[in-house]
Structure 1
Amino acid sequence: MLEEHQTPEEILGESGLLKQLTKRLIERALAGELSHHLKQEVEEEKGNSRNGYSKKTVQSNHGEMELSIPRDRQGNFEPVLVPKHERRIAGLDEKILALYARGMSTRDISAQLEELYGAKVSASLISEVTDAVMEEVKAWQARPLEEIYPIVYLDALYVNIKVSGRISKRAVYLALGVDREGDKQLLGLWIGEAEAEGAKFWLRVLTELKNRGLKDILIACCDGLTGFPEAIGAVYPQTQVQLCIVHLMRNCLNYVPWKDKKAVAADLKPIYQATTIEEAETALDACSQKWDGLYPAISQIWLRHWEHIMPIFDYPMEIRRVIYTTNAIESLNRSLRKVIKTKAVFTDEDSVFKLIYLAMRNITRKWQRPIRDWRAAASHFTILFPDRFSL
């Protein structure tokens, strides 16, 4: 049969072979469903029988498709493959969600589906499909967590949301955990009430994590936000707070013009890559002597945050690499920004949750499991935290 349909258009087109085969397969499956239904009716002595067909047009991956739906005389047959009042074949919703997860608008998705499959799907129907995800998002956001995550990265990114008729820039708070097996998990996401990231809101986030079952965090990696370490300590007093080196470097280089960025970055590297804290202090002194005349803010940033930079020097390189070399939260944020940048303004908070949640489903498929160097780091955790962590 395929020999009679040589061109892609003849096979995949609006009236192509693949669409015809799909239509026949669906109609056979529906006939099988009715046969099974009638067999049960006979066993229950209800005396039901076939009663012809009705026509129904549905949207599918291959465009609009007119199906012959078998009927029973008593009218109590409920097809599973093409339910009553349903106008879409299973599989189309997944394609809609996949396109939405890549940041496409509802109108763009509608145009894309029509171009690829000949399926004329309205923007309002696409909104209905994506809105249905919110129940899944709510369940995910409230799911129970494991009792311990050795490492949790805490960070925020920003989106524009329309609030009460005006555009407001809001922080989206992200908590990324690494579990005992070394697998990364996004523990949740929250949208702040103010237009800037705040330690008070982080306190609320951490309290929610604890209420969901997260009893202990060994190391919390965060940025230099004022009051952040205190917020972590209020909920998890045993947790070691480690300032994110990536954030620290970015803050420093914000004070440096382009022509000197590479040289300054090279001179800062020996500080955080030092073997001991004494070596780190020596490297910081050398950097200060060289650059304080031009950029005094750099050394002041390191000195101001030194208390939460020092802990990294207590750990062996295996744990250090896990904490800062993998840059887990930065990698995640970079992937999310590629998606959300397509949305200049979100219509509401739900649209933010939907997009980030669906984008996360794509991002997590590419994650390495376990994360790099985890086995060696976990072995050190068992020695450093014998009462709190075990393999």
Structure 2
Amino acid sequence: ASDVYKRQILSAVAESYLQGVSTRRVNKVMAALGVEGISASSVSRITKELDEKVSEFLSKPIEHEIPYLFIDATYLKVRDGLHYENKALFIVAGVRDDGYREILGVKLADSEDSLFWQDLFEDLKERGLRGVKLIVSDGHKGIQKAVRESFIGSSWQMCHVHLMRQALKKVPKKKQKEVADMIKEALVDRQKYNDLIRELDKMGYKGAADTLERFQYDVMNYIQFPKDHWRRIRTTNIMERTNKEVKRRSKVVGAFPNDESVLRLVVSILIDINEEWITGNKYLIMEQ
């Protein structure tokens, strides 16, 4: 069988296995894929192979310089002792110096303080991460501090989409479109942005004004880079499809029995996406 096909089978077995599905049901999945009879020992062997793939992917050397680093979270239900909780799964991607995208890391958060981020960044640096000029994410607690300490001389960019979402939460429904348009217009010019903070305050939207003010030094860092990169480096939209795919395929599972099972499934998905990225089209044209 081709490698891709094998991987799909592995992934199907793993997904069934993740759900605590009986060997009988796994056999059904296999039969549907045209692979007859698989024993419990095969399932555990496949799971072990999958775990090896996961750890290989999560420790692979980062060979290119990564000028642009993107971090985004997706939330999954994971069992913790006797109860289930929503855990944040952070996916880290980058645009390399040759203009291709690459998925660089994944980490399940138990907390989001700056120590969590520092660990994540240290791990990436040990694997060879270098040349980072801009880190784009939403305003997770602790991330700015960790960026300042881990990437001296780099800038942090607050994702415009997340900024907008956060600000609009504090505006009445019927006014949201109007305020969204105002924010969009202001996000290209520092003076306009500062004027808008004052204007929102006057309009009585103090919460929205506070949000804009809190990130005022971090919303326009993208402007120092080539103009034809702007659209793609001021948000974490690069991750949208990745997160959608993770969500779509983990819906089948519902709630995960443990952290390992999350990584097993998510990393299988990311290995596929990464393959498409590095063999597909360039994401940005980098200046030589």
TM-score (normalised: structure 2): 0.84
User: By how many angstroms is 1:281 displaced?
Assistant: 3.1
Match of 1:252 in 2: 167
**Compared with structure 1, are the counterparts of its residues 90 and 242 closer, same or farther at alpha carbon in structure 2 (3 Å cutoff)?**
closer
1:357 to 267, 280, 285: 267
Code of the residue aligned with 1:171 in structure 2: it is A
Match of 1:348 in 2: 258
Match of 1:238 in 2: 153
Identity of aligned residues (%): 24
Match of 2:186 in 1: 271
Answering whether residue 134 of structure 2 is matched by residue 224 of structure 1, we say no
Q: Return the alpha-carbon distance in structure 2 between the equivalents of residues 245 and 302 of structure 1.
A: 11
- Larger RCO of the pair (alpha carbons < 8 Å, separation 6+): 2
Q: Deviations over 1:159-179 (max 9, x none)?
A: 222233432432222211111
Does the 8 Å CA contact 2:158/2:235 hold for their aligned counterparts?
no
Does the 8 Å CA contact 2:72/2:90 hold for their aligned counterparts?
yes
TM-score (normalised: structure 1): 0.63
Q: Return the alpha-carbon distance in structure 1 between the equivalents of residues 242 and 123 of structure 2.
A: 22
2:74 to 157, 163, 168: 157
Q: Return the alpha-carbon distance in structure 2 between the equivalents of residues 236 and 243 of structure 1.
A: 16
Answering whether residue 7 of structure 2 is matched by residue 97 of structure 1, we say no
User: By how many angstroms is 1:303 displaced?
Assistant: 0.5
**Compared with structure 1, are the counterparts of its residues 364 and 144 closer, same or farther at alpha carbon in structure 2 (3 Å cutoff)?**
closer
1:188 to 100, 105, 118: 105
Unaligned runs of 5+ in 2: none
**Compared with structure 1, are the counterparts of its residues 284 and 334 closer, same or farther at alpha carbon in structure 2 (3 Å cutoff)?**
farther
Does the 8 Å CA contact 1:162/1:347 hold for their aligned counterparts?
yes
Code of the residue aligned with 1:269 in structure 2: it is K
User: By how many angstroms is 1:314 displaced?
Assistant: 3.6
**Compared with structure 1, are the counterparts of its residues 99 and 260 closer, same or farther at alpha carbon in structure 2 (3 Å cutoff)?**
farther
Alignment of 1:268-307 (within 5 A): 268-272=183-187, 274=188, 276-289=189-202, 292-293=203-204, 295-307=205-217
**Compared with structure 1, are the counterparts of its residues 348 and 296 closer, same or farther at alpha carbon in structure 2 (3 Å cutoff)?**
same
Does the 8 Å CA contact 2:197/2:213 hold for their aligned counterparts?
no
Does the 8 Å CA contact 1:158/1:171 hold for their aligned counterparts?
yes
360-369 vs 167-176, which deviates more? 360-369
Number of aligned positions between the proteins: 282
Match of 1:308 in 2: 218
User: By how many angstroms is 1:360 displaced?
Assistant: 1.2
Match of 2:54 in 1: 137
User: By how many angstroms is 1:337 displaced?
Assistant: 1.6
User: By how many angstroms is 1:283 displaced?
Assistant: 4.5
User: By how many angstroms is 1:340 displaced?
Assistant: 1.9
Code of the residue aligned with 2:253 in structure 1: it is K
Does the 8 Å CA contact 1:161/1:347 hold for their aligned counterparts?
yes
Unaligned runs of 5+ in 1: 1-60, 62-88, 380-390
Alignment of 1:69-80 (within 5 A): none
Does the 8 Å CA contact 1:114/1:121 hold for their aligned counterparts?
no
Q: Return the alpha-carbon distance in structure 2 between the equivalents of residues 288 and 361 of structure 1.
A: 46
Q: Return the alpha-carbon distance in structure 2 between the equivalents of residues 172 and 113 of structure 1.
A: 29
Code of the residue aligned with 1:113 in structure 2: it is M
User: By how many angstroms is 1:90 displaced?
Assistant: 8.9
Code of the residue aligned with 1:117 in structure 2: it is G
**Compared with structure 1, are the counterparts of its residues 227 and 177 closer, same or farther at alpha carbon in structure 2 (3 Å cutoff)?**
same
